[in-house]
Amino acid sequence: MELILKSNNEQSIAKIIALARRLNVIVEKTTTDIDSDEKMAIKSRILNFKASDRSSFGDAQQWERQQREDRDLPFA
């Protein structure tokens, strides 16, 4: 089994590596540099994402209307 962790936070990676070593897990550190063109392509894909179907959570506007309805308060 292989687990790949990517992080810019050196402190959290150091803690994970220390824990892995205590658990006798082999740790290999590789550096993969993502160039700015690849970063921009990923960012563009995320920002331009369009869903093909409606949300499975339903209509947010209708939910908000139902939540804001006037109702009898139990302590009135």
Domains of the chain, by residue range, sit at 8-47
Angle at alpha carbon of residue 59, lines to 53 and 63, rounded to 5°: 160
63 vs 69, residue with greater confidence: 63
Cα 17 to Cα 50: distance, rounded to the nearest angstrom: 38
Q: The pTM is what? A: 0.37
Query: Contact 46/39 with Cβ under 8 angstroms?
Result: no
Specify the DSSP element, H or E, that contains 62. helix 60-67
Query: Contact 10/18 with Cβ under 8 angstroms?
Result: no
Quick one: pLDDT at residue 22? Answer: 92
Quick one: pLDDT at residue 76? Answer: 57
Per residue in 28-68, pLDDT (tens digit) is 877 766 777 888 888 898 888 887 777 777 888 888 888 87
Quote the tokens at residue 68.
């804001």
Quick one: pLDDT at residue 68? Answer: 78
Judged against a pLDDT cut of 60, whether residue 70 lies above it is answered with: yes
